[in-house]
Structure 1
Amino acid sequence: MVLVRNRVVVDGDACPVKSEIARTVQSLDATALMVSSHAHRLVAEDRVSVVTVDASNQSADLYIANVLTRQDVLVTGDYGLAALGLARGAAVLTPRGREIREADIDELLAQRHFSAKQRRGGARTKGPPPFTNEDRDRFQQKLTTLLRGMQENRER
């Protein structure tokens, strides 16, 4: 019998919860794959592997989209990549601990398109609020819940 571990695939360039991911996978017998461009130096550690891709615009997203499986949790704040992850059957979690589901993605992509259209027209749009310790805690709790649920489903 082959042991299959849960895997967390991380859009690592701008991810503020890399250390929380490492601690969580190490405590839950899972693994993490962090993908980043050459501009962001990440270091592999126990249960955490790193893939570095070239610095072109969508290289990390394309790599991630090609390796995702339905046994993975994708961590990203990029709604386009989130849509690809959902299409591949992966669970998707933002660094702030929000799980993105199929029912959410159309509205999120529409909001992203609307904001980009406003910016192209010269308007200034409001960015996200500052990242807080509560965001970190929420993320780690949600990731732990997702991974434990996946482990329980696999054991059935």
Structure 2
Amino acid sequence: MTENSVNSPSIFVDGDACPVKDEIIRVAARHNLQVTMVSNQGLRASVGPNIKAILVGPEFDAADNWIAENCRPHDIVITADIQLAARCLKQGAQVIGHNGKPFTPDNIGRALASRELNQYLRESGEISGNNKTFSKKDRASFLQTLENVTQKILREMT
């Protein structure tokens, strides 16, 4: 497959710091979906005719803006960026974090509020900026969630 039809879902990846690229490629190949990895830094070459890399400019949020402007209903967006997740949900896309937790209209408000609180606490020195380590459990959870979301979308579209 070189290009999906307008009605096929695509997977958009916020690619600069994505630890689950291999899992995304595996699920996309299984379901013959287009993957677009968007980055403002160079990405390693991904193998497969259904993998496209988009290199955007170095401007702040350039990759996020590109994804938010190009995703549509039934697409899947992979990101850890809560603000990008909110924008993509408004476009009707399904959004999954790298740890396998989906962002939904029901939980995005709480996620945005938590992000703002944590940013304030880091800036005031109350907490450090260290993130927890990405685990095998996170990777497995992501893979299962992506597979489930993909199957659900494909069922809805038939």
Q: TM-score, normalised by structure 2?
A: 0.90
| Aligned residue number for residue 82 of structure 1 | 85
- The correspondence of residues 68-79 of structure 1 with structure 2, limited to 5 A, is 68-79=71-82
Asked if 2 retains the 8 angstrom alpha-carbon contact of 1:42 and 1:50, the reply is no
Distance in 1 (CA, whole Å) between partners of 2:104 and 2:37 is 22
Match of 1:31 among 24, 34, 38: 34
Deviations 1:20-64 (A, max 9, x none): 101110011111111001x33232431111100112221100111
Aligned length: 153
Distance apart, 1:125 and its partner CA: 3.3
1:41 paired residue number: 43
Pairs within 5 Å for 1:135-146: 135-146=138-149
Identity %: 28
Indicate the residue corresponding to 1:152 in structure 2. Answer: 155
Does 2:104 match 1:133? no
Distance 2:119 2:148 in 1: 33
The answer for the alignment partner of 1:56 in structure 2 is 59
Runs of at least 5 residues in structure 1 that lack an aligned partner in the other structure: none
Q: Distance in 2 between matches of 1:29 and 1:125?
A: 42
CA distance in 1, matches of 2:101, 2:68: 20
Question: How far off is 1:90 after superposition?
Answer: 0.4
The residue number in structure 1 matching 2:15 is 12
Match of 1:99 among 96, 99, 102: 102
Structure 1 runs, 4 residues or longer, greater than 6 Å off: none
In structure 2, what is the Cα distance between the partners aligned to 1:35 and 1:41?
9
The CA deviation at 1:129 is 1.9
Given that residues 43 and 53 in structure 2 are in contact (C-alpha distance below 8 angstroms), is that contact kept between their aligned partners in structure 1? no
Helix, strand or coil at the partner of 1:96: coil
TM-score, normalised with respect to structure 1: 0.91
